[in-house]
Amino acid sequence: MKHKKLITTPEISKRMSKVKLKRNKVEMKLAKALWHRGYRYRLNYKQLPGSPDIAITKYNIAIFVDGEFWHGKDFEIKKSKLKNNKDYWIMKIEENLHRDAKNDKLLNEMGWISIHFWSKDIERNLSYCLNVIEDFIDYQMVGRL
């Protein structure tokens, strides 16, 4: 019979401290691809609600690269599968979802388009994500005519 190792709170804290919140590999992959296509941007733009990971100020486009766990991908399905600190994580992720929605609304009220990509989608299909962004850039350009 296989025994599961219990993970202590200090071990969890140590692991969580290694989670990189800004300028992680996936964000930089998307940012560099945009740069190579000629788009200029601000990283972690604090002047906007939610400090978008990438803000293309010329076109009022705010891009967020969301981690699947932290931002609740398929959360209604996955929350029942949480094992450790279930109540804490449900509260934390629901707060994140609420905050994301509030920031998207504020950005929209300011005339910005908010785009969210899951990290894994960028890793698996960068060209699709770039095409989505360029479609929104085209949309913003038509609106300015």
CA distance 63 to 20: 17
Indicate the DSSP class of residue 113: E
DSSP string, 49-73: TT--SEEEGGGTEEEEEE-TTTTTT
Q: How confident is the model at residue 8 (pLDDT cuts 50, 70, 90)?
A: low
CA atoms within 13 A on the CB side of 110: 18
Tell me the domains of the chain and their CATH numbers. 21-144 (3.40.960.10)
Q: What is the pTM of this model?
A: 0.80
Q: Are strands 113-118 and 61-66 parallel, antiparallel or unpaired?
A: parallel
- State the average pLDDT for the chain: 85
Any idea which residue has 């996955």 for tokens? 78
**What is the radius of gyration, based on Cα positions, of the chain?**
18
Tell me the mean pLDDT in the region 11-16. Answer: 56
